[in-house]
Structure 1
Amino acid sequence: MSEDRHHGGDHAPTRLLRDRVARARRSVHRRAAGRPAAGTPVLPVLLVVAVALADVAGGAGMIWLPLLAAGPALAAATNRPCGVLCVGLLAAALGAALGTAHGVPVRELAAVLSALLAVTAASCLAGALRGRRERVLAAVRSVAEAAQHALLQPVPETVGPFQVAVRYSAAAAEARIGGDLYALVPTPHGVRLIVGDVRGKGLPAVGTAALVLGVFREAAYDEPDLLAVVGRIERSLARNLGPDDFVTAVVAGHARSGHLEVVNCGHAPPLLVSASGDVGAVEPTHPAPPLGLRALSGQVPRLQRLPFAVGDQLLLYTDGVTEARDHTRAFYPLADGVARHVSDEPARTLTALHDELLAHVGGRLHDDAALLLLRKNTADAPLCALSGSEAAR
């Protein structure tokens, strides 16, 4: 039975990614089909009318008429070709009427109207190309978001004796995809989790993150020893990464002994929040190099055990949080922020932290940022509690 469940879990992420990408594409097509053929070109129409009124008020004849071409040119930036064409025809009609009323020579008026129609045609083409680029970009964004959601699978709010919350923001906001990684896996050996940061950004970093998460989810379920989990990730990265690539990570586990096991591989130290609200950094007692660089340093990661009682919380994060700067170039004080906003609800705590972080940087992060908060809510459960349906998830 466990073998079948394990085998199904291997293919579930692939099916999930395929289904979400298909849904994202269908959603983009539905939104594109549901839009009207042309929006209301209010501003371009107002511009054309303003030029016509200026010409009527000044009685200037030909002086103002060439400015009517600004209407379809502006419409190309905001409207579809049908809207651009409507503005162009309105401008041509007003230009012809004003030119005739002012007695403009036919040859001069024909030249102005020809130029106006040429600008309208070019603007229609520009509007069509802009609309096509927007649809392609929307499809890319939706597919990238679906891929990221499949990669960083949702973390349940409650796992065994723990409450869990996650907040993630990618630096590449246009693609909604980044290089930070996190996962929490209920296993027969206890709850295990990882938070890491891949060197670099964008699609290459996402590929490395996918590799790390795939190996972690497999090894976390199979290996009774947390160091063996880290060792499998290290060996996989050594085979697949370039010489300058690496991943910093904290791997943690709870084996129902009233303690947490932590392995820090070159990552920012987690923050331990006691039930009384005291916040302290969990500095590694034996620092280890980032994953993928062990062969260069020869250092081997060590297991660190921390007491973890009911009401205690552990915050894992990436350097996009602690290295976020404000307008004065000051770093965000994460430990102080945790002390201010800590509560018995991890989701509320992370929401307050994330909002404060965005306010600190002025609304836009310049690096990927991940926060994972684990709170022990009840006493330890029996080992079999996580080896059934929860572990299968």
Structure 2
Amino acid sequence: MGPRRLPGSPRRSRESRQALLAVPLALIVIVTVGDILAPPEVHLGPFLAAAPAITATFAGPRTTACVGALAVLAQAVVATVRTSLTDLNHSLQLSALVLISVFVTLFALRRERHEQELTQLRSVAEAAQQVVLRPLPRRIGPLRIASAYLAAEAEAQIGGDLFAAARTSQGTRFIVGDVRGKGMEAIGDAALLLGAFRAAAHRQAGLPALVAHLEGTVSSDLDDPEAAEFGTTALSEGFITAAVLDIPDDSPVVHLINCGHPPPLLLHQGRITTLEVATPLPPLGLTEFADSSFTAETFPFEPGDTLLLYTDGVSEARDTAGTFYPLAERMRAAPRGEPQRLLRHLREDLLAHTPKRYLDDDAAMVAIEREASCRRDDGP
């Protein structure tokens, strides 16, 4: 499972807008008939202005203009039936209705252009993100792998969630991370980190050396010469949380360095363990503010176990009551099976937990299972 959008399609959107169009049309009919049948001292014409105003909230400028013209025509019919078009009261109502219809049509035009710009920005960002975030293979060496990416629906704010895997001569290395910020800048930072990981993971002898290399790459990119001229630093403005893992082929363990990222979860014989490191490190890009050396910590990872790597878009997803998604509990209750099945369950369960199945932040997950019978495979 590679990057994937949340539910929703243009066809459904069009069908929904067509259904909503019945509201202003029904309003025009009801107000027109009611105004014609009302006593002379009662005037319902001003309510016709609501029809184009309502239409502008969900339809484009053409539809809004058509509904506005229909409302003006209805007002003219009322004026003709009740008195005449030259009657002062109806003339003022017609003039006001024309002005309101023009105004809301311009509003609909501006909103439509804004939506088109956001759609274009999101398309470009998604295309860039799919190039950066390559789907993981389903099998590397003795490991079975599944990955999933859920994009948030907030405007064009594509996030910087990332994951990757790299094969070494003795095992497989993984990284999962989250860039602070949104949009193309976050994707650029994610591309930088992933490129450094893919280039160095194969040749760096130890995990601490690899993470030190990643830290150097991120820190050098975050240095801002312009900010330095004003006596400020860009390092406090941007950083990347990341968990970097090394899983040997021949040892039932996993080595982990966690730089400010949510801790992985380990499923072992139906029990969930949070892989909390004893010495947490700050995110990449901030380590120069903390005199910390990179030291890998080791945890059991036996055949049949499953590791879940994830970003805070998963663990911090809230329901309507503001309750965080109980990831560990839901992982424990998930049906047993291959990693693909686990992530399908968690993805659907996560969307069901959030209001209207929308996420406020992008979310990424990687499930890794060590097979009971190890089979050597060089992978990517």
Matches within 5 A, 1:380-391: 380-382=374-376, 385-386=377-378, 390-391=379-380
Return the TM-score normalized by structure 1.
0.77
Cα RMSD of the aligned pairs, angstroms, is 3.2
Aligned equivalent of 2:255: 261
Q: 2:241 aligns with which of 248, 252, 268?
A: 248
Q: Which amino acid counterpart does residue 134 of structure 1 have in structure 2?
A: E
Q: Which amino acid counterpart does residue 117 of structure 2 have in structure 1?
A: V
Q: CA deviation at 1:210?
A: 2.3
Q: Which amino acid counterpart does residue 149 of structure 2 have in structure 1?
A: Y
Aligned equivalent of 2:302: 309
Q: CA deviation at 1:378?
A: 5.3
Q: Which amino acid counterpart does residue 313 of structure 1 have in structure 2?
A: T
Equivalent pair of 1:194/1:251 in contact (CA under 8 Å): yes
**Distance verdict in 2 for CA 1:93–1:59, change over 3 Å:** farther
**Distance verdict in 2 for CA 1:312–1:42, change over 3 Å:** same
> What are structure 2's unaligned runs of at least 5 residues?
1-9, 223-233
**Distance verdict in 2 for CA 1:133–1:254, change over 3 Å:** same
Greater per-residue helix proportion: 1
Equivalent pair of 1:172/1:202 in contact (CA under 8 Å): no
Aligned equivalent of 1:186: 167
Equivalent pair of 2:72/2:97 in contact (CA under 8 Å): yes
Q: Secondary structure at the match of 1:269?
A: coil
Aligned equivalent of 1:175: 156
**Distance verdict in 2 for CA 1:188–1:61, change over 3 Å:** farther
Q: 1:344 aligns with which of 332, 337, 340?
A: 337
Q: Which amino acid counterpart does residue 369 of structure 1 have in structure 2?
A: A
Q: Secondary structure at the match of 1:310?
A: coil
Q: Which amino acid counterpart does residue 334 of structure 2 have in structure 1?
A: H
> What are structure 1's unaligned runs of at least 5 residues?
1-30
Q: Secondary structure at the match of 1:185?
A: strand
Q: Secondary structure at the match of 1:90?
A: helix
Equivalent pair of 2:125/2:184 in contact (CA under 8 Å): no
Does residue 227 of structure 1 match 2:221?
no
Please give the per-residue CA displacement for 1:257-296, whole angstroms capped at 9, x wherever unaligned: 234332223333322222x223222232554443233333
**Alignment length (residue pairs):** 352
Aligned equivalent of 1:94: 74
Q: CA deviation at 1:219?
A: 0.9
Aligned equivalent of 1:18: none
Aligned equivalent of 1:134: 115
Aligned equivalent of 2:104: 123
Aligned equivalent of 1:68: 48
Please give the per-residue CA displacement for 1:121-154, whole angstroms capped at 9, x wherever unaligned: 3333333222222222221222222222222222
Q: Which amino acid counterpart does residue 231 of structure 1 have in structure 2?
A: A
> What is the alpha-carbon distance in structure 2 between the residues aligned to residue 92 and residue 328 of structure 1?
45
